[in-house]
Structure 1
């Protein structure tokens, strides 16, 4: 009788947990769309991309939308499938490597010989606006080992339209914004 009561209690306790795991929630990857293979020649051979620093609103698992009243609210039950800082860093490193003549890797630098330049990207804002745009703003510091490229700190502001106000639409717009950001970073390495 005790075994039966224990099983019954376990079943009753599991019901609320099953109800919470609704099928309408989904996880989305931070990823960039496929881009043309054209490479831009830059003045350095190797680049280390430091871990991208994201603000609190962009570093959690929730996908937020800034509504007309200025409030940030989760976009349904949608969440990022990976740690956003890791995913943005990895996506930018892949884009920089594919779209420039330099070999690019996220930190820590994996080779014995160090990189010839470093990029330190700090994002101030990365979110979808109810007005239908996805914004990424912040600053990047370029540091060089051999004096090339010129060391400096630059601000950036990227805005791309969101084609559909859904988690999939926001994810797609974020990918396009990361491509534009990678192009801006490549411009600093020329």
Structure 2
């Protein structure tokens, strides 16, 4: 038994040593997104939001940055607090609901009746850029349940990264997601 106990202790200590440093997770501060939200009327009383489609580097938990050379890199110890597609989808659903006062939920639609409209967002670019801004670009689609009057739009948004580190990047991401929600509410849901 002593040999097994010693071997187990050695194995556990080796595994702990291989684990590396501390992993840090960063959440988007919700207070910065909801301060002074505009009220925007929506032609739809209920809206289903599909899970946001992200490029492969942005769908990773690692926070992506583009350097001076154009290379996109990330550090395995700096992570988003939530899976990026899920987190952004929930952020947008919350913001669209607060702005429009409509019933907004991420897919799958949790209510018995169907949503009056479906919003689909496809992100082309989402990262901290070498110029000190956080960029978000892509396209959104609004499809009414009636099948008539669908809308789409391109977006290319940025916010300054104020400060240093991942928490500053998370705050800037919060600002561009807020801007995206406002753009969709003003142009797609009216």
Normalising by structure 1, we get a TM-score of 0.90
Structure 1 position 96, deviation (Å): 0.5
Q: Which residue of 1 aligns with 2:163?
A: 164
Residues 9 and 24 (structure 1), Cα distance of their counterparts in 2 relative to 1, 3 Å cut:
same
Structure 2: which 5+ runs fail to align?
A: none
Q: Which residue of 1 aligns with 2:13?
A: 15
Query: Distance between the aligned counterparts of 1:140 and 1:111, measured in 2?
Result: 23
Query: Distance between the aligned counterparts of 1:179 and 1:49, measured in 2?
Result: 15
- The RMSD of aligned alpha carbons is 1.8
Structure 1: which 5+ runs fail to align?
A: none
Query: Distance between the aligned counterparts of 2:62 and 2:76, measured in 1?
Result: 9
Residues 1-190 of structure 1 mapped to structure 2, 5 A cutoff = 3-22=1-20, 24-30=22-28, 32=30, 33=32, 34-36=34-36, 38-75=38-75, 77-146=77-146, 150-187=149-186, 188-190=188-190
Q: How many residues align?
A: 187
Query: Distance between the aligned counterparts of 2:48 and 2:166, measured in 1?
Result: 31
Query: Distance between the aligned counterparts of 2:125 and 2:119, measured in 1?
Result: 18
Normalising by structure 2, we get a TM-score of 0.90
Query: Distance between the aligned counterparts of 1:67 and 1:106, measured in 2?
Result: 33
